[in-house]
């Protein structure tokens, strides 16, 4: 009898072990809510879908966040049915369910090259639509969607991720643009009509559809100086033209730094980019914050917490321009990083674990200065590969020593390109640049001399 009882107990214990961690977990709502802590600094937000705002997760979500971004439900692909008609029922239903919380709604995203029906930009055979048709589709989409949410949405990501990661030619932001399906369709027009035209067009449509909304350009990797510079130059140029037409407010009013960071992200780099955007007179949001630490036990989680603390110190220091810090999720159990295509499962990037318990990262975000005093700043992360690549990264990021420009200015480059010996492919060009730099140290001197002489 005793054995039977013990066996049943064991089975119950084992079964409990297999239950999903979040099930039945009671979130600790006694902890100070982050939105309240940062009320005088910036909004604190999170991305949501049905999985993130139901039950206990919902309680925790609205305890800590006063801003919300739909993780997927407002993207173009989520809004059209098979008949190419807009259907807002899913997102409207989600929003109606949480209307009582009064969270500020940030729209994500009107234009993107992912999660967008192919018919908007391409013919059936995959070739780009003619510019005129793509323009019609974009105008109709932005007009209807931004129009539908006008008055409900505080700000919009008008355009998401239009910039390349590896920017070889820094002389013109246009060259740094991704050749997306939108880009290619807009490039498929008359003489002088380039793919870059989709950016200005998208922002102008959004401004017309919802004059009250604050319009954002959103991208990842903006802690990288070269990419940040390209975005800043683009915003400055488009805003300059728009203001010269007599408009009172900038066209691109905010830059969303997504903030999908890792333990090797430098808070100092993040700060430099915030300052760069602030100089443009636009506001900044940290729009999709998470820190992807490899599950590796308490040590990694402490390093992650320290990184969160360092970042929040920076965000607070620039709270005059940072208007929102939004996490890309709430708890580790429902982070996008658990999807197999993004390296999951087992991701641990957020402030709460899959059982909704506050991690050290929560305490770090809630009191960053106190946390750093107790635990110290993170020592720079060293890996063998990182050490090996450091000089090259320095070359790439540093404007004055950049191999790409040396290559561009060199006679050899012109000859190689003309003979078809050098590919204009960005990776190949970067490789040639590096080779060129290593093989001919004198190139640096020539490059500097040209800079000094203004040639
Ligand atoms: O809904 C299906 C489900 O039925 C199916 O079983 C499952 C199988 O993988 O897929 C589910 O759809 C996935 C969807 O997320 C919902 O979980 C898609 O495959 C997956 O591609 C989609 O990923 C989204 C990703 O954007 C698309 O690139 C992530 O949820 C979303 O968090 C992520 O968000 C982006 C931002 O919009 C822009 N910045 C980067 C950020 C992270 O990638």
pLDDT digits (tens, 9 = 90+) for 165-200: 877 667 789 989 999 999 999 999 999 999 999 999
pTM: predicted TM-score of the whole model, two decimal places? 0.85
Q: Which helix (H) or strand (E) holds 205?
A: helix 197-209
pLDDT of residue 409: 46
390-424: buried (b, 16+ CB within 10 Å) or exposed (e) per residue?
eeeeebbeeeebbbbbbbbebeebeebbeeeebee
Question: Distance between CA 35 and CA 283 in Å, rounded?
Answer: 19
Question: 50 — phi, psi (to 5°)?
Answer: -55, -35
Helical pair 411-418 and 426-439, crossing angle rounded to 10 deg: 140
Domain boundaries of the chain, sorted by first residue: 31-375, 384-453
Band of residue 402 on the pLDDT scale cut at 50, 70, 90: very low
Higher-pLDDT residue of 442 and 141 is 141
336 lines ligand 1 (CB under 6 A): yes
* pLDDT given at position 435: 65
> Is-contact 23 354, C-beta < 8 A?
no
Task: Look at the alpha carbons of 12, 14, 19, 25 in this order and tell me if their dihedral is positive or negative.
Answer: positive
Q: Give the pLDDT confidence score for residue 419 in this predicted structure.
A: 62
Mean pLDDT across 6-21: 38
Q: Which atom of ligand 1 is nearest to the CA of 342?
A: 43
Give the list of residues 6+ apart from residue 130 with CB closer than 8 angstroms, or none.
Answer: 185, 188, 189
Is pLDDT of 38 > 70?
A: yes
Q: Residue 442: in which H helix or E strand, if any?
A: helix 442-453
- How far does residue 451's CA lie from ligand 1's centre (Å)? 45
Give the H or E element holding residue 283: strand 283-292
* Neighbouring residues of 164: CB distance < 8 A, sequence distance ≥ 6: 176, 177, 178, 227, 426
Residue 26 has pLDDT above 90, yes or no: no
Average pLDDT across the chain, whole number: 86
**Whether the predicted pLDDT of 303 surpasses 80:** yes
Q: What is the largest CA-CA distance in the chain?
A: 95
Name the CATH topology of 31-375. Answer: TIM Barrel (3.20.20)
CA-proximal residue: ligand 1, atom 20 (nearest): 339
| % of the chain surpassing 90 pLDDT | 72
For CA atoms 435, 440, 446, 451, give the dihedral sign: positive
Going from the Cα of 59 to the center of ligand 1, the distance in angstroms, rounded, reads 23
Q: What local confidence, expressed as pLDDT, does residue 452 receive?
A: 59
Could you give the percent of the chain with pLDDT greater than 70?
78
Residue 326, ligand 1, Cβ within 6 A:
no
- Reply yes or no on whether the pLDDT at 389 is more than 90: no
Q: What is the pLDDT of residues 271-283, one digit of tens each?
A: 999 999 999 999 9
Average pLDDT over residues 423-428: 57
Span 80-131, pLDDT tens digits: 999 999 999 999 999 999 999 999 999 999 999 999 999 999 999 999 999 9
Q: In this structure, which residue's CA is closest to atom 8 in ligand 1?
A: 339
Is 193 catalytic? The answer is no
CB 238, CB 248: distance < 8 Å: no
């Amino acid at each position: 009898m005793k054995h039977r009882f013990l066996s049943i107990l064991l089975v119950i214990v084992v079964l409990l072990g297999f239950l999903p961690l979040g099930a039945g977990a009671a979130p600790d709502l006694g902890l100070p809510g982050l939105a309240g802590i940062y009320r005088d600094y910036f909004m604190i937000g999170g991305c949501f879908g049905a999985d993130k705002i139901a039950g206990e997760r919902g309680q925790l979500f609205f305890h800590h966040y006063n801003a919300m971004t739909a993780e997927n439900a407002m993207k173009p692909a989520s809004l059209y049915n098979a008949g190419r008609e807009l259907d807002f029922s899913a997102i409207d239903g989600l929003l109606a369910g949480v209307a009582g919380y009064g969270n500020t709604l940030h729209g994500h995203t009107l234009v993107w090259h992912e999660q967008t029906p192919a018919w908007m930009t391409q013919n059936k055979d995959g070739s780009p639509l003619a510019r005129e048709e793509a323009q019609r589709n974009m105008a109709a989409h932005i007009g209807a969607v931004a129009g539908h949410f006008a008055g409900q949405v505080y700000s919009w990501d008008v355009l998401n991720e239009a910039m390349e990661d590896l920017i070889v030619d820094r002389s013109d932001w246009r060259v740094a643009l991704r050749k997306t399906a939108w880009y290619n369709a807009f490039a498929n027009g008359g003489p002088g009509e380039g793919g870059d035209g989709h950016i200005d067009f998208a922002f102008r449509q959004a401004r017309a559809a919802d004059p009250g909304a604050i319009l954002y350009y959103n991208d990842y990797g903006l802690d990288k100086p070269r990419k940040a510079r390209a975005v800043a130059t683009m915003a400055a140029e488009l805003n300059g033209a728009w203001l010269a037409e007599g408009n009172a407010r900038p066209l691109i009013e905010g830059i969303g730094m997504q903030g999908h960071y890792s333990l090797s992200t430098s808070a100092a780099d993040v700060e430099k980019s915030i300052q760069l955007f602030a100089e443009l007179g636009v506001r900044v949001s940290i729009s999709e914050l998470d820190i992807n630490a490899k599950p590796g036990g308490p040590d990694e989680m402490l390093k992650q917490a320290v990184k969160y603390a360092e970042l929040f110190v920076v965000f607070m220091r620039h709270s005059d321009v940072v208007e929102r810090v939004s996490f890309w999720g709430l708890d580790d159990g429902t982070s996008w990083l658990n999807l197999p295509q993004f390296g999951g499962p087992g991701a641990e990037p957020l402030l709460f674990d899959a059982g909704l318990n506050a991690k050290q990262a929560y305490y770090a975000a809630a009191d960053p200065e106190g946390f750093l005093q107790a635990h110290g700043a993170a020592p720079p992360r060293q890996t063998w590969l990182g050490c090996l690549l450091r000089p090259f990264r320095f070359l790439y990021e540093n404007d004055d020593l950049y191999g790409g420009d040396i290559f561009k200015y060199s006679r050899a480059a012109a000859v190689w390109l003309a003979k078809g010996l050098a590919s204009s492919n960005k990776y190949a060009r970067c490789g040639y640049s590096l080779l060129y730099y290593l093989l001919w140290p004198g190139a640096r001197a020539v490059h500097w001399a040209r800079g000094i002489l203004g040639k």
